Amino acid sequence: MSWGRVIKLWKVPFDKELKTKMLMPTNPSVSLRRGLTLAIAAIAFSGGAAMLSAQTTVSAPAVDFGAYAKTSFAPNADLTSSSSSSSSSEDAFPEASLTSVDPLHLNAMQYQRRRYGRPRYRGNNTNPDGSNKWMGYGGGGFTQPVGNTWHYDTPSWGVQVGAGRQFSYKFAVPVEFSWDNFGLTKQTLDNQLALYNNQIDYYCTVDPTDCAANSVTPFTTLDGNAHVWSFSVQPTYTLFGDHDGMGTYVLAGAGFYHKVTNFTIPTVGEYCDYYYGCYEYSANEVIDHYTSNAPGFDAGIGFTYKVSHFSNLKLYAEARYVIILNSQRQGITVNTPGADSSTATNEYPANSNRTSYFPIKFGIRF
């Protein structure tokens, strides 16, 4: 290293903060390299005028300045360039010149740690807040008739599945299919049994020969069931707990509701196959069937529990109030005058009554 190079190294216009960092190093390896460099400079100064005239180079095998220069932060740094080109580069690019004589990477101490802002979600299936664009759920539970429906139907089971667009952690609009089953009250079955037997008695009174020929006899027992299936849109808003742990949401929906009531009697049938021959079995045969289509509305509240921070899977429990705006149809009942008329077409007008019930469901959301 020449005296000129050493002098330039010492007279580089470091800023005050950098000089402070040079004198107060925190990294032991950096401190060792800086101390070795200062020792080499002191040896060069003590050589005197003979060393200056001979342009001798101090050998320091432990420090490879060329390697440091090649890995400098400035791409234009080159310790092997001539003094004239070095001077011109110092004038044109002072920062590059500073780095070119910074074999120990002192400028690296001026760099701050990179700050990271809020993550940006770029996936096609995620919203800007990180929530999935699509959601779904499925569950089952039981149904409780209320209002006027309570006089005809009894509690039973129900299921539901839904899927749709989720616009954020808070708001989603799924489309849902649900099936809610009901039993029939004893009073309903007794009234229908009396009505049907009145019909049979009237028929056998008008034409006893045909009644006997076809073995028409009054019913001894009657059973039945009812159900409602629907397609609806269920806008859902999460009140709190949209990320972890417990959560609460509300919903209100509307859709198409199809109500069915069946009346059955026990029947003995015969089944035959090639291997086991023929055998008898008992089953319920539908003898009367009623349907009603109408718009319906519901509103409810639900509670969720997120099972894992790294999963969208949630357990849920919800309760709703459903009302179906059926159009009332005229018909006869056991208490209607002339109920034994065989010309009646609607013998269960209660199926077209307005229907209301509470479905309570449990399941998973994802």
Is the same domain home to 200 and 315?
yes
Identify the pLDDT of residue 79: 44
Identify the pLDDT of residue 162: 98
Asked whether residue 129 is domain-assigned, the answer is no
Identify the pLDDT of residue 267: 85
Is the same domain home to 106 and 158?
no
Dihedrals phi, psi of 350, to nearest 5 degrees: -65, -25
Is the same domain home to 97 and 138?
no
Asked whether residue 342 is domain-assigned, the answer is yes
Residue 283: CATH number of its domain: 2.40.160.20
Is the same domain home to 22 and 84?
yes
Q: How far is 315 from 351, CA to CA, in rounded Å?
A: 35
Question: Last residue of a domain, which of 110, 125, 149?
Answer: 110
Asked whether residue 139 is domain-assigned, the answer is yes
317, two tokens = 């429990």
Is the same domain home to 18 and 155?
no
Cα 20 off chain centre by = 54
Strands (DSSP E) contained in the chain are: 134-145, 153-154, 156-166, 171-184, 223-233, 236-240, 246-273, 277-306, 314-324, 355-365
24, two tokens = 């107060």
Is the same domain home to 48 and 154?
no
Asked whether residue 257 is domain-assigned, the answer is yes
Dihedrals phi, psi of 149, to nearest 5 degrees: -65, -30
Is the same domain home to 104 and 170?
no
Dihedrals phi, psi of 302, to nearest 5 degrees: -140, 160
Is the same domain home to 68 and 150?
no
Dihedrals phi, psi of 214, to nearest 5 degrees: -100, 10
For 94, which DSSP code? H
Q: Per the structure, how many domains does the chain have?
A: 2
Is the same domain home to 248 and 146?
yes
Entry pTM: 0.65
Identify the pLDDT of residue 10: 47
- 359 touches 149 (CB < 8 A): no
Is the same domain home to 39 and 188?
no
Burial 312-348 (b: 16+ CB within 10 A, else e): eebebebebebbbebeeeebbbbeeeebbeeeeeebb
Question: Last residue of a domain, which of 47, 75, 110?
Answer: 110
Asked whether residue 128 is domain-assigned, the answer is no
Asked whether residue 121 is domain-assigned, the answer is no
Asked whether residue 324 is domain-assigned, the answer is yes
Question: Last residue of a domain, which of 110, 145, 177?
Answer: 110
Q: How many CB atoms lie within 10 A of CB 165?
A: 12
- State the chain's maximal CA–CA distance in angstroms: 148
pLDDT tens, position by position, for the chain (366 residues)?
Answer: 554 554 454 454 545 554 444 545 555 555 666 666 676 766 655 654 444 454 444 444 555 545 544 444 444 444 444 444 444 444 544 444 444 455 555 555 555 555 555 555 456 888 998 889 999 999 999 999 999 999 999 999 999 999 999 999 999 999 999 999 999 999 999 999 999 998 888 888 888 888 888 888 899 999 999 999 999 999 999 998 867 789 999 999 999 999 999 999 998 777 787 777 787 777 889 999 999 999 999 999 999 999 887 888 999 999 999 999 999 998 888 888 766 665 667 899 999 999 999 999 999 999
Asked whether residue 339 is domain-assigned, the answer is yes
Among 350, 308, 362, residue whose Cα is nearest residue 138: 362
Which structural domain, as residue segments, surrounds residue 42?
Answer: 3-110
Is the same domain home to 211 and 348?
yes
Is the same domain home to 230 and 175?
yes
